């Protein structure tokens, strides 16, 4: 099980004071040294945390895999085609949301998503779609031509203890389906040191994207220790 660390909230701290620090590139380097096998950032339309400058520097320095989350817009396709991260993950984006709320509705926007996937793949960029664990969304993602899908684990993370087994079962079922369709299967959203292990036991999931929990822990114990502790939880 690979860990990709989302460092958006390092930039959130920086932007709180419009200061030059903390530096996302430094956080990414420390995360990689501690065992992260990927770095994820979300370049939002409103640039509330990560900026284009950050993505450009990360492209020059990340030694593992650089994954950029973005909306399926012409502006973002242009930026990605210029910078060329290893992977783009298409996500839904709403102006006033605190964080991503739910998965991309590929069923409803299949033509648009397929066109953006084609443009990115023509630029030699691997494409993942962040979707809810729903069979129809998996099928639509295959028709859209994506290379990978990242399942939204938010409903699992926020479920009451008695409801979590059903959420896990749903995730395991769609993960098997996605693997059968030859997707690379990823997952993330709302995962913490306390709830991650049941997700990590789903054999078909190859990589987890985790951000807030790691950055929160890093604010107390440092990035390297925070990442090492999460990596240790994924070794089952």
Backbone angles phi, psi at 138, to 5 degrees: -65, -50
Cis peptide before 203 (omega within 30 of 0): no
Task: Determine whether 69 is an active site residue.
Answer: yes
Compute CA 233 distance to the chain's CA centroid, rounded to the nearest angstrom.
18
Q: What are phi and psi of 78, to 5 degrees?
A: -65, -45
Task: Tell me the C-alpha to C-alpha distance, in Å, between residue 4 and each of 20, 95, 105, 135, 148.
Answer: 24, 25, 24, 25, 15
- Annotated catalytic residue, options 32, 93, 184, 189: 189
Task: Pick the catalytic residue from 42, 93, 184, 204.
Answer: 42
42 is known as an active-site residue = yes
Q: Is 84 helix (H, G, I), strand (E, B) or coil?
A: coil
Is the CB of residue 18 less than 8 Å from the CB of residue 222?
A: no
Write out the E strands in the chain: 2-6, 38-42, 66-70, 87-90, 126-131, 148-152, 184-188, 207-210
Instruction: Kindly tell me the burial class for residue 133, based on how many C-beta atoms sit within 10 Å of its own C-beta (0-12, 13-18, 19 or more).
Output: buried
Catalytic-role residue among 9, 49, 69, 204: 69
Catalytically active residues, by annotation:
42, 69, 189
């Amino acid at each position: 099980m690979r860990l990709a660390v989302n460092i958006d909230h390092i930039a959130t701290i920086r932007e709180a004071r419009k200061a030059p620090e903390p530096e996302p590139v430094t956080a990414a380097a420390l995360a990689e040294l501690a065992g992260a096998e990927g770095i994820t950032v979300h370049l939002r339309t409103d640039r509330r945390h990560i900026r284009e400058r950050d993505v450009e520097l990360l492209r020059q320095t990340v030694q593992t895999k650089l994954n950029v989350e973005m909306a399926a817009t012409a502006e973002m396709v242009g930026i990605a085609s210029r910078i060329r991260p290893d992977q783009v993950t298409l996500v839904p984006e709403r102006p006033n949301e605190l964080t991503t709320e739910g998965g991309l509705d590929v069923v409803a926007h299949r033509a648009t998503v397929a066109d953006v996937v084609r443009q990115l793949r023509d630029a030699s960029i691997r494409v993942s779609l962040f979707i809810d664990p729903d069979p129809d969304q998996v099928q639509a993602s295959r028709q859209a031509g994506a290379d990978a899908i990242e399942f939204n684990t938010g409903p699992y993370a926020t479920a009451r203890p008695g409801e979590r087994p059903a959420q896990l079962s749903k995730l395991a079922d769609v993960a098997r389906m996605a693997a059968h369709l030859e997707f690379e299967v990823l997952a993330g959203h709302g995962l913490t040191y306390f709830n991650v292990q049941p997700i990590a036991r789903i054999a078909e999931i190859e990589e987890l994207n985790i951000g807030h929990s790691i950055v929160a822990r890093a604010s107390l114990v440092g990035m390297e220790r925070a990442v090492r502790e999460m990596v240790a939880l994924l070794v089952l």
